Amino acid sequence: MLRTTAAVIAGKAARVAARLRGGGSAMPGLVAERVDPAFLTHALGRVPGGVVVVSGTNGKTTTTKMLAAIVAAHGRRVFTNPTGSNFTRGVISSMLGEIPLSGRLDADVAVLELDEWHALQFAKVVTPTHALLLNVARDQLDRFAEIDTTAKLLASLAEQTRDGVVLNRDDSFVARIDGSLGEGVAVRWFGIDPVVADDLPPLHEADARFSDELAVPDAGADDGLLHPHDARSFSVHFGGDEVGPLELKQRGLAAMINATAATTMARMVLGSAFSARTALTALQAVTPPFGRGEVIDAGGQPLELVLVKNPAGFTVALGTYGAEPVATMVAINDDYADGQDVSWLYDVSFESLREKGVALTSGIRGYDMALRLSYDDVPVGGVELDLERALDRLLAEHPDEPRRIFCTYTAMMRLRRLLAARYGLANFGEEASA
């Protein structure tokens, strides 16, 4: 206990220091973990309503935010890591703001976004009661080497989950996990209503591991199916029950699927306490997380920041945003957090940008992006590798129209900081108060 208290104090001190420096760091978590390696076990071990882990390649941050909002709207005290800090140290860092000196988190439910690798590291010290597994796509193959490896990581996470999992019925990498669960673990599914699925673009990677077609069971009364009504409005159907129709503040099909996943898991965690009306109200109020379709008022015109990090995500983002042509910039970095291999840009079709063109490409691999666009005959207005100069140019050359920036992770972080400084936005990691 003494050691935990010492870890809380050391971590809180490091957190104050990190925030004075500009925040958003996993360092305070590292400090606390060094002082007390059992910190996480102690803090989360007795959260009464469960520890829910959200993992998968695309949509973790958005889905986690939606799930936490729905559960909180039902009167539960929710602990979550809201900043996309999806490594275990990031989770500890987010705890340090609200944890008492006892080191035991004062919450009813924990809803945690964890990346595929760290979800497994996390499960070694805290057994998740629930896991929501979103999808498996080619992403950061320089880190995970194979898509199959990512699928295996998620399957191991599910195997270590105690009470229940929610799986994506449309993603065969995830759907096959059904076969590898522990005894007594409940399975629920989320997905797109088969009635409308044929009208939608392919959202998932081909799973080439097996020759047989995967048969997903018919949706039961506790499985959530997305039913889009138009570009903005949709419902989630559970047997005869329905959450909707509703509109999110975040646009696009990906956000609707994330809402479907979050609602299905919320229903599982809350049981009979779940209220469709409360869930609907909560979902409608959720704002997009930083940089994920976030709209910033930049000098009287909206500027949209859209995080892209793999072919599936970029394709869905173009499907969502490409139909509304605006002044567009694409910023591609290749640091570790972005994925060092930019090959994936060639697995995305950019034809939807052809008519309006792209105003600028930027980032370390700005020329590679411009080259990629040239092969889809998309006109490019210019290449400016420096992100700040590129942002200046985009704003100066397109003052009277909406602007949109597709960007990889580190490019998004840098642009978000520049925009926060210019337009008085909340800093990264301070979203709860925004």
Partner 1 sequence: MSGQSSSHSSNEPSAADASGPAVGASKGLVNLVHLYPREMSIYGDLGNVRCLAGRIRRHGYDVRVWDHHPGSTLPDEPHLFMGGGGQDSGQGRVEEDLAAIADRLRGLATDGVPMLMICGMYQLFGNAFITVEGQELPGLGILDVTTRGNAKRMIGGLVVDTEWGQVVGFENHSGSTVLAPGQAPLGRVLAGNGNNGSDGTEGARTDNVVGCYLHGPALPANPPLADALIAAAAEHATGRPFEPGELDDTLADEARTRQIARLLKTAKAS
Q: Give contact residues for partner 1 (rule: CB under 8 A).
A: 138, 141-142, 145-148, 206, 208-209, 211, 340-347, 349, 351, 365, 367-368, 370-372, 374-377, 383
Q: Which H or E element spans position 238?
A: strand 233-238
Furthest CA-CA distance within the chain: 64
Nearer to partner 1, 117 or 122 (CB): 117
Rounded to a whole number of angstroms, the minimum distance from the CB of residue 345 to partner 1 is: 7
Asked if 84 and 113 count as a contact pair (C-beta separation under 8 A), the reply is: yes
The H-assigned helical ranges of 179-272 are 194-197, 253-270
Rounded to a whole number of angstroms, the minimum distance from the CB of residue 360 to partner 1 is: 14
Q: Which among 183, 391, 229, 224 has a CA at the least distance from the CA of 298?
A: 391
Please provide the DSSP assignment of 344-358 as one string. Answer: GGGGS--GGGTTT-B
Rounded to a whole number of angstroms, the minimum distance from the CB of residue 366 to partner 1 is: 9
Q: What backbone torsions phi and psi does residue 140 show, to the nearest 5 degrees?
A: 50, 50
Annotated catalytic residue, options 241, 297, 341, 386: 341
Asked if 269 and 49 count as a contact pair (C-beta separation under 8 A), the reply is: yes
Asked if 235 and 271 count as a contact pair (C-beta separation under 8 A), the reply is: no
Q: Which H or E element spans position 360?
A: strand 360-362
Nearer to partner 1, 145 or 273 (CB): 145
Q: Which two tokens stand for residue 250?
A: 């975040």
Q: Which among 30, 36, 40, 41 has a CA at the least distance from the CA of 6?
A: 36
Nearer to partner 1, 79 or 350 (CB): 350
Asked if 327 and 398 count as a contact pair (C-beta separation under 8 A), the reply is: yes
Rounded to a whole number of angstroms, the minimum distance from the CB of residue 202 to partner 1 is: 11
Asked if 78 and 25 count as a contact pair (C-beta separation under 8 A), the reply is: no
Radius of gyration of the chain (CA): 21
Rounded to a whole number of angstroms, the minimum distance from the CB of residue 381 to partner 1 is: 13
Rounded to a whole number of angstroms, the minimum distance from the CB of residue 287 to partner 1 is: 34
Quote the CA–CA distance of 244 and 52 in Å, as a whole number. 24
CA angle 108, 33, 336 (to 5 degrees): 100
Nearer to partner 1, 241 or 347 (CB): 347
Catalytic, 341? Answer yes
Q: Which H or E element spans position 370?
A: helix 366-375
List residues with catalytic annotation: 341
